[in-house]
Amino acid sequence: MKKHILGISFVLVATFISFMSVAKAEEFHWGFKPSRNGEPVEIGEPLESMLSKYGAIYKGNEEKKIVYLTFDNGYENGYTESILNTLREEKAPATFFLTGHYLTSATDLVKTMVKDGHIIGNHSYGHPNMARLSADEMKKEWKRFDDKLNELTGVKRTYYARPPEGIFNEEVLKVGNEVGYRHMFWSIAFKDWLKDERRGAKYAYDALMNQLHPGAIILMHTVAQDNAEAIPQFIKDAKAQGYTFGSLDDLVLEYEKISPY
């Protein structure tokens, strides 16, 4: 009997280890080889097929010089107002992926985003690793954010989600679809999320211009002073190269082959 129990215990432990290995293998950390010379980013398989299956998007039409500005906001560091002013002056739409903390700590700025016609995206309420949550926990994260957004701004709900730190698995995409969210990733990014690490406006400007490509979805963080200082010139110079700035709504309409008219 003792040997039998030990045998069962061994099988259970082995099964648990095997399960954990599979779960870990299914956890993806978003990343790609940065674009150079205007070439579109490619993420390869199996991610291309997985994203396509759930309508998740990381870039637009590679034949059109349209780019899409997105910002992740976990907390405020004093530079978002400047960025909003630039977007207003340049008539450039953007999507702000916010957390619950940002909603409650920077409510006035959120209201300005909405007033200016920008899209609010769901970056989760508490910024957890979404790939390690149950389906119910995922839904609660997104709904808690939407409920607070509705309470503070009157916006009924969000439709675009972005996983914190770009960590996800297929279940995150699947469950998101079930409750009405399309996941939006990105094809341009650079290290800009450390609020106390100044590298200068030229660093941010060069990172954006060097990776610029048709259909790019650009990820930036508003905590960086470098970004706030670089964005005005970046937008002007991108326009000078023939680029226009679209919204994620425009991108989705094109992705789904739906005419806006």
Tens digits of residue pLDDT in 156-174: 999 999 999 999 999 999 9
pLDDT confidence of residue 166: 97
Catalytic residue (choose from 72, 146, 192, 226): 72
| Total structural domains within the chain | 1
Q: Residue 105 falls within a domain, yes or no?
A: yes
* Catalytic residue check, 127: no
At which residue do the structure tokens 């977007």 appear? Answer: 87
Q: Residue 222 domain-assigned?
A: yes
**Residue 120's domain spans which residues?**
59-256
Of the candidates 81, 160, 150, which has an alpha carbon nearest to the alpha carbon of residue 120? 160
Q: Within a domain: residue 35? A: no
Residue 18 has pLDDT above 90, yes or no: no
In a domain, 261, yes or no: no
Q: Is residue 193 part of a domain?
A: yes
Q: Is residue 195 part of a domain?
A: yes
- At 123-152, the pLDDT tens digits run 999 999 999 999 999 999 999 999 999 999
**C-alpha to C-alpha distance for 224 and 197, rounded to whole angstroms:** 8
- The radius of gyration computed from the CA coordinates of the chain, to the nearest angstrom, equals 20
If you average pLDDT over residues 35-49, what whole number do you get?
A: 94
Is 6 within the bounds of a domain?
Answer: no
Q: Supply the CATH number for residue 72's domain.
A: 3.20.20.370
The pLDDT tens digits of the residues spanning 207-235 come to 999 999 999 999 999 999 999 999 999 99
CA distance 254 to 261: 12
Alpha helices in the chain (DSSP H): 2-25, 47-53, 80-90, 100-105, 107-115, 135-153, 170-178, 201-211, 225-240, 248-255
Q: Which residues contact 22 (CB under 8 A, 6 or more apart)?
A: none
Looking at 118, 146, 221, 226, which residue is catalytic?
Answer: 221
Q: Please tell me the pTM assigned to this model.
A: 0.89
What is the arithmetic mean of pLDDT over 25-29? 82
pLDDT, residue 16, reads 34
Average pLDDT, the chain: 90
Calculate what percentage of the chain has a pLDDT beyond 90.
85
pLDDT of residue 195: 75
Q: Is the pLDDT of residue 117 over 60?
A: yes
Q: How confident is the model at residue 52 (pLDDT cuts 50, 70, 90)?
A: very high
Q: Is residue 72 part of a domain?
A: yes
Q: What is the pLDDT of residues 59-109, one digit of tens each?
A: 999 999 999 999 999 999 999 999 999 999 999 999 999 999 999 999 999
At residue 257, the pLDDT reads 87
